[in-house]
Structure formats: C-alpha cells, structure tokens
C-alpha cells in the first residue's frame, strides 16, 4: 500500500531535529533507518502528520571511544555496528547480536537507536542494551537527560522517552578483558524475529565464573534481565552442571506471551534451554 | 513538493516527488524501470532489492526523498547490453549479460522469475563483501530474499558459479 500523506523535513543537525520535533507536535515521527516505520506507514498502521528524517544528521552516526565507555550514535546502522573496530573490541556482544538482526538489506538501513526506541519485545538489541548496562542519552528543546536501560523499556513497544525527545546515542561500559559473549536466538525461519533470544556475557577466572550478564528477548512486554541466572553462576565452576542448574532461573520475573509462534509454556522451556546454551557458548 | 536528484543506472534524474513516494514506485512508475518488481509490500521478500550507494536495500522500505543525492543500481543497470561476454551454452542469454544473470540462466536458478531481480541484486552485494562465499555464506547472504519456486538449491549454485567467473574476470584484468 501507499503511505498516507505527511509533511517531510530533513534537518541537518541535532538542534534542528529536536526543534522540528517540538514544532511538529505529538503526531510527528522521527524517521531513522525506516525498517520498522516504513512497513507501518505502508500498512497504514501508522499515519503521522509529519516525518522528520534524521538521515542527514551525520553526527548521530558516530561511534566514539570515551575511555571506559563507548558512545554509539543512535543512527549507526547495524551494518556499521557489526564492522566497527571499537564495538568489536569492547562490546563484542553488541556486534554478535546485530549480526542476527533481520537480513543484510535491512541491516544496511536499520539503526541501533531506531531498534531500541521501537522497543519491540522481539527485537534483539533491547536485551543487549539491558545486559550491557546501557545509558540512553536523549535530547529535546527542553534539554538533555539520561535514562538507564533498566528504566528505558516501560511496556510493549513503549519507551520512557517523551514524544518531543530524540535519542542521541547510547553509552555502554566497555566489557574489559576475560569476557566471552554470545547471543542465542531461536527462530524458525531465516530473517524472522526471535521467538526467544538470550544475550549473554560471562567472565571467567580460570575454571571459575567470575561474573555474568544475561538478558532475555521476547520473554515479556519488555526485555528481562535474568538476575537469578547471573547470581547462580557467579563464583561457581565452569561446567555444564553449573549452567544447566543456573538456567533453571531464566524464567524468573518473565511474562512470556502466547502467540502463533509459541505458547508461554514453550517459551519458558526455550528460555531455559537457550540460556544454558548461551552460557556454555560464552565459556567455550 | 521536494525535488530530488538521483543517479539511476548511470543516468541522472531530477524530479519533484511527493514525500510518501516509495523508491520502488519512483523507479517503476516515473522512470519506467519495471525490472524491479514489487513483491510482498511488507519488507519480507526482497524482490524489490536494489543497490543504494552500492549497498543492497529493499526499495519498498525507502522513500524516494531518502535517496536524494544517491546512486541507485537496479537489475537494469547490470551488464553491458550489446557488449561482449563469453558465449553462453544457453541460447537465450543476451550478449553482455552480467555473470550473475548468465549463471542464473545456466543453473536454472529461476522458475517464475519474480524474485530473480532481487536475488541477483542481493547476490551482487554479497559478492562485493565476499567474492568466494561458501554454500552456507550464500544462504546467509540471501536470507532476506524469498523464492517460492526453486527451493534455493539452484540459486546457491548459480551465485557460486558467478562468483567463480567474476574472480576469474578480475584476475584477468589484473594480470592481462
């Protein structure tokens, strides 16, 4: 279908973009890579009065080394993130998960920030941001603020951002040395969304698990940090037994949906199995 | 109405377009480049894949205004029509066809042909990044393109055949 009509603006700077967003009112949408928004426009599930195209705000594409943290610009494409030497060196979990997003053509256009703000519970990157203790930098004409990942995803496809706010970038602490990472994604067909996904990072000290980060995709309306799993592996020997019993905690605090891809019970089972696999892969 | 300037298959076009005009509709309805089909209309099938500044995109998910100032290559921009190419064993491949176009023909990589333009453009993008892909890598590279006829076997074969030919051509250029 053809999208409904809208006003179109293409600001060249972040300042111009937030001003345009503020001027356009609540029925405006920011256009990032468009890989989620364009299908919604075409199906007329979304019909904003105005589109503000961020495609020419080059500053938003930057990936910057800040010392202990990396700042990934909201408009960095998945393709860019996957290949970025800083991301690969310091946040390999992000690169690994971004490789599994959709397909190459979508990864060329789709952006890191766009997929976070879209807050689709089946999206892969919200769980990664949660596992990596990301901080979201947002800006509006009213000023700047930071939102922690644990507070950013508030409900199904709903973030803590206000309608006049723009995501500028995401700050994530570098993982440091000794971490193994893995994103375990279960889907039935190529390019499909995750039925369940597990973002996982494990730091080992010899044969002992020193630290772990685990977060789940599509096990509720928002990504879930699996704190029970993390606690259950810390200080334990690296072994299949450790990971299997720790993975039993994966469903704690989850509210998995039932839909045509699987029942809640099936998803709970998957979360347990995939968490054990992800922990194992991180220490292989 | 915004004015856009795009380079498509080597020619420059300037047009006033509605902001909501999708790139695939611009290519087909304004420029007459109907080699790029509209498939699923939901960004799934990849039939409308073109290269935008050298990288594959689904042209049903890009607004024409987003392509302003960019370089677009469609299936109609491949090969050199009328140019020379090694004689194909098949009878109906036009001279000057791109190695991918020839290989799809020779390996019988299509039946209805609806997905073929997108398959070839996605393959071109894949081979740009990886000139010698394994079977697995071809399948991963084409995961965004659906074919309902062939079962993909011959498509994978065709891409690897074209890759081989393109590598040989490249070597010939470097060492004449």
Considering A131, A150, A173, which residue would you say is the last residue of a domain?
Answer: A173
State whether A43 and A142 are in the same domain.
no
Residue B48 has pLDDT above 90, yes or no: yes
Say yes or no: A27 and A47 in one domain: yes
Instruction: For residues A166 and A231, state if they share a domain.
Output: no
In a domain? residue A239: yes
Instruction: Give residue-wise pLDDT tens across range A181-190.
Output: 999 999 988 8
β-sheet with A196-205: strand ranges across:
A179-186, A196-205, A208-217, A224-225
Kindly determine whether residue B41 and residue A38, on different chains, have CB atoms separated by under 8 Å: no
- A28, A47, A104, best to mutate vs chain B, most B CBs in 10 Å: A104
Task: Say yes or no: A64 and A48 in one domain.
Answer: no
Taking each helix axis as running N to C, give the angle between helix A264-283 and helix A240-247, from 0 to 180 degrees, rounded to the nearest 10.
Answer: 150
d(CA A185, CA A35): 20
B19 has a chain A CB within 8 A of its CB:
yes
Q: What tens digit of pLDDT does each residue of A164-207 get?
A: 999 999 999 999 999 999 999 999 888 789 999 999 999 999 99
Say how many CB pairs under 8 Å bridge A and B.
85
Q: Is A44 domain-assigned?
A: yes
**A95 and A160 share a domain?**
yes
Q: Give the integer Cα–Cα distance in Å for A95 and A181.
A: 10
**Structure letter (DSSP) for residue A58:** G
User: For position A1, what pLDDT does the model report?
Assistant: 82
**Shortest CB distance from A109 goes to which of B18, B44, B61?**
B61
A204 in any annotated domain: yes
Closest-CA distance, A117 to chain B, in angstroms, reads 18
Q: Tell me, yes or no, whether A203 and A272 share the same domain.
A: yes
Say if residue A201 is in the same domain as residue A219. yes
Question: Are A166 and A185 contained in the same domain?
Answer: no
Question: Minimal Cα–Cα distance from B97 to chain A, Å?
Answer: 24
Q: What ipTM was predicted for this assembly?
A: 0.94
CATH code for the domain in which residue A255 is found: 3.30.390.50
Inside any domain, residue A1: no
A264 domain residue, yes or no: yes
Residue A87 · residue A70 · CB < 8 Å: yes
Per-residue model confidence (pLDDT) at position B173: 76
Nearest to A74 by CA among A17, A150, A155: A17
The domains of chain B, with CATH numbers, are: 3-77 (3.10.20.30), 99-174 (1.10.150.120)
Instruction: State whether residue A86 is helix, strand or coil.
Output: helix
Bridge partners (DSSP) of residue A8 are A51
Number of compact structural domains in chain A: 3
Q: Scan residues 48-67 of A and list those with Cβ closer than 8 Å to B.
A: 51, 53, 55
Q: Which of residues 67-86 of A touch B (CB under 8 A)?
A: 79
**Chain B contact for A102, CB < 8 A?**
yes
What DSSP state is assigned to residue A74?
T
Residues in chain B closer than 8 A to A58 (CB atoms) = none
Do A37 and A99 lie in one domain? The reply is: no
Q: Is residue A191 part of a domain?
A: yes
| Residue A31: CATH number of its domain | 3.30.43.10
Q: Summarize pLDDT for A207-261 with one digit per residue, the tens.
A: 999 999 999 999 999 999 999 999 999 999 999 999 999 999 999 999 999 999 9
Instruction: State whether residue A188 sits within 8 Å of chain B by CB.
Output: no
- Residues of A with CB below 8 A from B141's CB? 104
Please report the pLDDT score of residue B171 as a whole number: 87
Asked if the Cβ–Cβ distance from A104 to B125 is below 8 Å, we say yes
CB of A23 less than 8 A from some CB of B: no
- Adjacency order of strands within the sheet including B11-16: B11-16, B3-8, B71-73, B49-52, B55-58
For A49-102, the pLDDT digits (tens) are 999 999 999 999 999 999 999 999 999 999 999 999 999 999 999 999 999 999
Q: Is A40 on the interface with B (CB under 8 A)?
A: no
Last residue of a domain, one of A125, A143, A173: A173
Q: Are residues A96 and A167 in the same domain?
A: yes
Cβ-contact A47, A5 below 8 angstroms: no
Length of chain A equals 284
A51 to B44: CB separation less than 8 angstroms, yes or no? no
- The pLDDT of residue B96: 87
Contact criterion met (CB below 8 Å) for A169 and A187: no
pLDDT of A106 reads 97
Residues A216 and A160 in one domain: no
Strands (E), B114-163: none
The pLDDT assigned to B89 comes to 54
CB proximity B144 to A under 8 Å: yes
Nearest CA in chain B to A43: B42
**A225 in a structural domain:** yes
Looking at residue A194, the DSSP 8-state letter turns out to be P
Per-residue pLDDT, B88? 52
Query: What mean pLDDT comes out for the span B122-142?
Result: 97
Residues A143-160 have pLDDT tens digits of 999 999 999 999 999 999
Question: Is A2 a member of any domain?
Answer: no
Nearest C-alpha neighbor of B172 from the set B92, B53, B84: B84
Q: Is B25 on the interface with A (CB under 8 A)?
A: yes
A66 and A166, same domain (yes or no) = yes
Structural domain of A44: 7-52
Nearest chain A residue to B42, by CA: A39
Contact between A42 and B19 using a beta-carbon 8 Å cutoff: no
């Amino acid at each position: 279908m053809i999208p409904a009509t809208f006003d179109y603006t293409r600001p060249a700077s972040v300042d111009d973009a937030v001003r345009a967003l503020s001027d356009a009112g609540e029925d405006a949408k920011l256009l990032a890579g468009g890989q989620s928004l364009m299908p919604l426009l075409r199906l007329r599930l979304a019909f904003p009065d105005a589109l503000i195209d961020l495609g020419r705000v080059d500053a938003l594409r930057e990936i910057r080394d800040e010392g202990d943290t990396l700042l990934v610009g909201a408009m960095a494409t998945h393709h860019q993130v996957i290949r970025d030497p800083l991301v690969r060196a310091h946040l390999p979990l992000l690169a690994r998960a971004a490789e599994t997003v959709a397909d190459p053509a979508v990864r060329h256009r789709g952006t890191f920030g766009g997929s976070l703000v879209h807050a689709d519970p089946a999206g892969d990157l919200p769980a990664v941001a949660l596992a990596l203790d990301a901080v979201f930098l947002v800006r509006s004409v009213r000023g700047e603020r930071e939102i922690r990942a644990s507070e950013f995803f508030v409900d199904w496809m709903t973030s803590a951002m206000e309608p006049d706010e723009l995501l500028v970038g995401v700050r994530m602490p570098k993982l440091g040395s000794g971490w193994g990472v893995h994103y375990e994604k279960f889907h039935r067909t190529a390019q499909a969304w995750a039925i369940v996904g597990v973002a996982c990072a494990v730091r080992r000290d010899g044969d002992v698990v020193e630290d772990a980060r685990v977060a789940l995709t599509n096990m509720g309306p928002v990504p879930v940090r699996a704190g029970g799993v993390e606690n259950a592996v810390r200080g334990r020997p690296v072994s299949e037994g450790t990971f299997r019993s720790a993975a039993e905690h994966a469903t704690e605090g989850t509210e998995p949906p039932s839909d045509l891809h699987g029942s809640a019970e099936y998803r709970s089972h998957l979360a347990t199995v995939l968490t054990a696999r992800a922990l194992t892969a991180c220490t292989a | 109405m915004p004015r856009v300037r795009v380079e498509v298959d080597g020619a420059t076009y300037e047009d006033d377009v509605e902001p909501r005009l999708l790139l695939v509709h611009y290519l087909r309805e304004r420029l007459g480049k109907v080699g790029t089909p509209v498939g699923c209309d939901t960004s799934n099938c990849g039939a409308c894949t073109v290269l935008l500044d050298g990288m594959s995109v689904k042209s049903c998910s890009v607004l024409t205004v987003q392509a302003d100032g960019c370089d677009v290559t469609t299936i109609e921009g491949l090969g050199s029509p009328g140019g020379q190419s090694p004689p194909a064993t098949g009878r109906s491949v036009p001279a000057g066809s791109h190695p991918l176009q020839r290989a799809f023909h020779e390996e019988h990589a299509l039946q209805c042909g609806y997905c073929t333009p997108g398959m070839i453009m996605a393959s071109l993008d894949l081979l740009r990044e990886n000139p010698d892909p394994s079977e697995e890598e071809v399948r991963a590279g084409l995961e965004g393109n659906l074919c309902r006829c062939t079962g993909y076997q011959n498509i994978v074969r065709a891409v690897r055949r074209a890759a081989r030919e393109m590598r040989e051509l490249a070597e010939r250029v470097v060492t004449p």
